[in-house]
Amino acid sequence: MRYAFSLSLFLLLAFTTGAYAQESAAETVDRLRAQLLDVQAKEHDLRTRLEQLNESLKPENIERSLAGVGSTRPEELRESRRRQLTSERDGVAAQLKTLEEGKARLETELANAEARAYHQSARRPDTDQMMAVSSGLGYGWLMAGGGGFAVLALAAGVLIYRRKLRVR
């Protein structure tokens, strides 16, 4: 009985999970464009920071940044500051590379979503009405109904089977 219950629960969840997570192609395009704008803003900030770090790494700028610091070993201070800036620059460059890869992936997804949205908008209106069951909330209700029917049929089968076992 536990097996039948867990199987029926699994079937119900399997049929209804994807129904509410769907979004229209136009909504997907809008979401991807917003993400792309966000990535471009982050990329601009990282590029600006990378330029600042490259400028700060010039020997005269390192010297200028340590001008007010008194030390008996100024060359060690300069070397320490150079290592710190180099390390930070390498980290920013790695972030920028990762961001560029994500941006390329987003641009590809956006192009695909725009193509889907175009094809969706190019459909004839009567085709959309006929296909209304296969999208959005209508699809979810259809799958929930089918899943519910499957659960009921499975439960009825289990009850009939148990009654046959008692009769013997």
146, with CB counted inside 10 A (0-12, 13-18, 19+), is middle
* C-alpha span between 48 and 52 (Å, rounded): 6
Q: What is the CA radius of gyration of the chain?
A: 31
Tokens of 65: 């940044």
124-166 pLDDT tens trace: 655 555 555 455 556 666 666 777 777 777 777 777 877 777 7
Is the confidence at residue 5, as pLDDT, over 70? no
| pTM, 2 dp | 0.56
Strand, coil or helix: 130: helix
Mean pLDDT (whole number) for 10-26: 52
